[in-house]
């Protein structure tokens, strides 16, 4: 999910440039050919992205397991504190709070580590696939004689024949 958000943010900037193009006015005779595609969907549906996601999930399993253990430890400390607060000495309360704080810091550090690794994997995927995607989109533009190719999210409705997303994904799957 984090990977999807980062990808969406990265691609939104380039998509906005296309959507803001002043050449969007259709000629009087309707001769302008317009197509759309969803960069994020095309990338995430590609075999390379799926493989990268599977590898990332496998690599993150130890971190997810540690995250879950820390969550259980913190919850157990909270329950112990609530159960025994009336009978605990101030020294014991401080010690338990210190332990819980240490676990919480470790928990937060782990979350940051997961986010960083996910972002790094995302950037590597973009670095590898965007040049191919740009070439594919240009080839499709020429083959379809399109005047404009917009981000799919910029259109309210598009006939499926003018949505290039699946074709971009299929061609990305051929490029290794």
- DSSP conformational letter for 25: P
| pLDDT tens by residue, 80-95 | 888 988 898 899 889 9
| pLDDT tens by residue, 22-65 | 333 343 346 889 999 999 999 999 999 999 999 999 999 999 99
Q: Which secondary structure element, helix H or strand E, spans residue 82, and what is its range?
A: helix 47-84
pTM above 0.85, yes or no: no
What is the spatial distance between Cα 30 and Cα 32, in angstroms, rounded to a whole number?
Answer: 6
Q: Which of 20-24, 74-78, 114-118 has the lowest mean pLDDT?
A: 20-24
Per-residue burial over 132-167, b = 16 or more CB atoms within 10 Å of its CB, e = otherwise: bbeebbeebbeeeebeebbbbbeeeebeeebbbbeb
What is the spatial distance between Cα 166 and Cα 10, in angstroms, rounded to a whole number?
Answer: 20
What is the spatial distance between Cα 168 and Cα 175, in angstroms, rounded to a whole number?
Answer: 11
At 143, list the tokens: 């083959």
Look at 16 and 147; give whichever has higher pLDDT.
147
Fold of 2-174: Protein Binding, DinI Protein; Chain A (3.30.910)
| pLDDT tens by residue, 122-138 | 999 999 999 999 999 99
Given a cut of 70, whether residue 9 has pLDDT beyond it is no
């Amino acid at each position: 999910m984090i990977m999807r958000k980062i990808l969406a943010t990265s691609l939104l900037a380039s998509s906005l440039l296309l959507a803001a193009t002043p050449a969007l006015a259709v000629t009087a005779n309707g001769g302008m050919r317009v197509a759309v595609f969803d960069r994020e969907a095309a990338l995430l549906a590609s075999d390379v992205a799926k493989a990268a996601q599977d590898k990332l999930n496998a690599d993150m399993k130890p971190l997810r397991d540690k995250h879950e253990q820390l969550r259980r430890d913190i919850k157990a400390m909270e329950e112990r504190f609530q159960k025994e607060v009336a009978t605990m000495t101030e020294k014991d309360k401080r010690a338990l709070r210190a332990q819980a704080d240490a676990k919480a810091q470790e928990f937060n550090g782990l979350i940051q580590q997961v986010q960083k690794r996910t972002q790094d994997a995302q950037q590597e995927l973009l670095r590898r696939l965007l040049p191919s995607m740009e070439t594919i989109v240009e080839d499709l533009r020429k083959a379809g004689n399109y005047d404009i190719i917009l981000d799919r999210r910029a259109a309210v409705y598009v006939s499926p024949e003018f949505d290039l997303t699946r074709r971009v994904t299929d061609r990305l799957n051929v490029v290794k």
